[in-house]
């Protein structure tokens, strides 16, 4: 099968979905000749600026607070920069995040404002193309002078130092010396100048990759939450008045209206669940739902908030997600180095584009939205298993309540997962911790914020799987005529209690793959 290519060009926008496709090895990255030409122009301009005697941070000066001192020899200073940044701590970052960070770095270099020699960028791109992935410690970046330590571990591999992640036959990863891996692949260690080294580490690429991947997953997990909500409302024969289009149009929030449309779309395809074309307008979907789907007479006029207000909650999450995506892609397509080289003006721009403050605010907001989606799903589970709310079905959806415990363990798991989500939903964007001998006197912690947002997607997926299991069990007990979604049609209803840990885990793995774009060609 032909693998699609994502091409990086100076003025071509890189989407979050493009980065995810390469990160998850569903596409290959191609760097255009125009991109390398832009790098060459930038490098030539930097050379001319240095020759005329201008001060250039990291080239004629030391790094960080050492800017007041003169630089050493370019090659020695490059080695020194990467060496001291070879710190860090913790388990390696996920391979897809490392690949995503490399994509983001190459996108920045393609703008032609980094001053890097094109050959250094080509070596960097060759590592990605050949599947050589650095073992990058997950702790070490403050997202202030960019993601210095994580990015430096990729550069160390270029120079034949550090470690790489080698994929074993059982799909686990083993850490191997980078020099050994380069030798096996026919690569020679690359010697970096100070400017080349700085251009490869002084940016926001890891934070941006984490956020972009979180955005891609989150968009699809919210759709799963809407589908499960619709499925639940259908099998429980809930009141549908909270989905009236006039209600949502009166509020005016784009995300809320889109979420109501999504839920109605899933509901309206009662004969083949979720198959109603998305272009059908809101009013038409509402009419179909009113005509086709029964409501239980014993249901209250107004459903509890976790049912009635689902479009308002999920719609708000959609709006947060949209803004997070906008910020992620602005970051991916912008110049995040320091200093920048303006080739046309022959000017060096010293500043702080390496700050991840935008990423931090966006990731914190996305984290908060995902946690609220988790709250919604957990409360919907309670509505399914509690006879006071579920229309009189057995307590905990046990076939024989008392003799069996039904979905008790599943609900406990979901509640524990939600507790994890809440404990990881702290905001980083304003939690500055000064460092670097006072040079970095305020830091945004965008790396931490984006990493947490990405990790929250895994916890949320597991909660949604727990809810889906409960809806499927409810449907079986209710003898519902509504078919389960295609991805839950293999569920075997509980007639006796059974351990569901493995089922929760493999279904969560599947959902995360689907959310990442790895199943059924979803983009």
Catalytic positions: 57
**Helix (H, G, I), strand (E, B), or coil: what is residue 35?**
helix
List CB contacts of 347: < 8 A, sequence separation 6 or more.
Answer: 49, 341
What is the greatest pairwise CA distance in the chain?
86
The DSSP 8-state label assigned to residue 146 in this structure reads B
**Helix (H, G, I), strand (E, B), or coil: what is residue 102?**
helix
**Helix (H, G, I), strand (E, B), or coil: what is residue 168?**
coil
Q: How far apart are CA 285 and CA 226, in angstroms?
A: 15
* Backbone phi, psi, residue 175, to 5°: -85, 130
Q: For CA atoms 18, 369, 356, 358, give the dihedral sign.
A: positive
3-state secondary structure 436-495: HHHCECCCCCHHHHHHHHHHHHHHHHHHHHHHHHHHHHHHHHCCCCCCCCHHHCCCCCCC
Burial of 382 (0-12, 13-18, 19+ CB in 10 A): middle
Taking the mean position of all CA atoms in its chain, how far away is CA 504?
Answer: 21
Angle at 468 between CA 467 and CA 473, to 5 degrees: 100
Q: Which of 463, 373, 368, 23 is nearest to 212 (CA)?
A: 23
Pairing relationship of beta strands 340-342 and 5-8 according to DSSP bridges:
unpaired
CB atoms < 10 A from the CB of 446, how many? 33
List CB contacts of 478: < 8 A, sequence separation 6 or more.
Answer: 235, 236, 393
CB atoms < 10 A from the CB of 67, how many? 15
List CB contacts of 317: < 8 A, sequence separation 6 or more.
Answer: 218, 222, 255, 369, 370, 372, 373
């Amino acid at each position: 099968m032909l693998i699609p290519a994502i091409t990086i060009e100076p003025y071509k926008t890189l989407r979050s979905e493009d980065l995810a496709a390469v990160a998850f090895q569903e596409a290959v990255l191609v760097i255009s000749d125009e991109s390398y030409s832009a790098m060459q122009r930038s490098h030539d301009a930097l050379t001319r600026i240095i020759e005329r005697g201008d001060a250039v941070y990291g080239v004629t000066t030391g790094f960080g607070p050492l800017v007041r001192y003169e630089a050493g020899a370019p090659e020695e200073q490059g080695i020194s920069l990467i060496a001291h940044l070879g710190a860090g701590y913790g388990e390696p970052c996920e391979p897809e995040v490392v690949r995503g960070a490399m994509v983001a770095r190459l996108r920045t270099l393609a703008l032609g404002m980094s001053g890097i020699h094109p050959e250094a960028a080509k070596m960097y791109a060759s590592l990605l193309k050949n599947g050589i992935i650095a073992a990058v410690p997950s702790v070490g970046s403050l997202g202030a002078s960019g993601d210095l330590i994580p990015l430096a571990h990729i550069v160390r591999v270029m120079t034949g130092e550090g470690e790489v992640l080698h994929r074993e036959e059982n799909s686990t990863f083993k850490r191997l010396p980078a020099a050994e891996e380069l030798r096996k692949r026919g690569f020679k260690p690359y010697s970096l100048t100070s400017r080349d080294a700085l251009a490869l580490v002084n940016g926001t690429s890891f934070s941006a990759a984490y956020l972009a991947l979180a955005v891609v997953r989150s968009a699809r997990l919210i759709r799963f939450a809407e589908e499960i909500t619709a499925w639940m409302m259908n099998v429980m024969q809930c009141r549908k008045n909270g989905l009236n289009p006039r209600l949502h149009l009166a509020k005016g929030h784009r995300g809320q209206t889109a979420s109501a449309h999504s839920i109605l779309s899933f509901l309206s395809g009662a004969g083949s669940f979720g198959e109603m074309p998305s272009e059908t307008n809101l009013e038409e979907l509402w009419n179909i739902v009113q005509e086709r789907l029964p409501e239980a007479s014993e249901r209250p006029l107004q459903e509890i908030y976790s049912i009635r207000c689902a479009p308002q909650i999920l719609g708000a999450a959609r709006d947060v997600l949209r803004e997070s995506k906008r910020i992620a892609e602005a970051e991916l397509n912008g110049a995040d180095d320091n200093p920048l080289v303006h080739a046309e003006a022959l000017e060096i721009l010293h500043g702080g584009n390496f700050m991840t403050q935008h990423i931090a605010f966006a990731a914190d907001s996305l984290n908060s939205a995902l946690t609220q989606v988790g709250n919604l799903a957990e409360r919907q589970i309670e509505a399914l298993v509690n006879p006071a709310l579920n229309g009189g079905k057995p307590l905990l959806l046990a076939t024989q309540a008392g003799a069996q415990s039904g979905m008790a363990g599943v609900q406990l798991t979901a509640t524990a997962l939600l507790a994890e989500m809440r404990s990881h939903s702290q905001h980083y964007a304003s939690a500055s911790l000064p460092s670097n001998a006072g040079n970095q006197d305020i830091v945004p912690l965008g790396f931490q914020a984006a990493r947490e947002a990405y990790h929250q997607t895994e916890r949320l997926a597991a909660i949604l799987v727990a809810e889906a299991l409960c809806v499927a069990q409810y449907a079986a007990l209710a003898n519902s005529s509504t078919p389960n979604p295609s991805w839950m049609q293999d569920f075997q209803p509980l007639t006796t209690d059974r351990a569901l840990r493995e089922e929760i885990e493999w279904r969560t793995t599947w959902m995360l793959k689907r959310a990442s774009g790895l199943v059924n060609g979803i983009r």
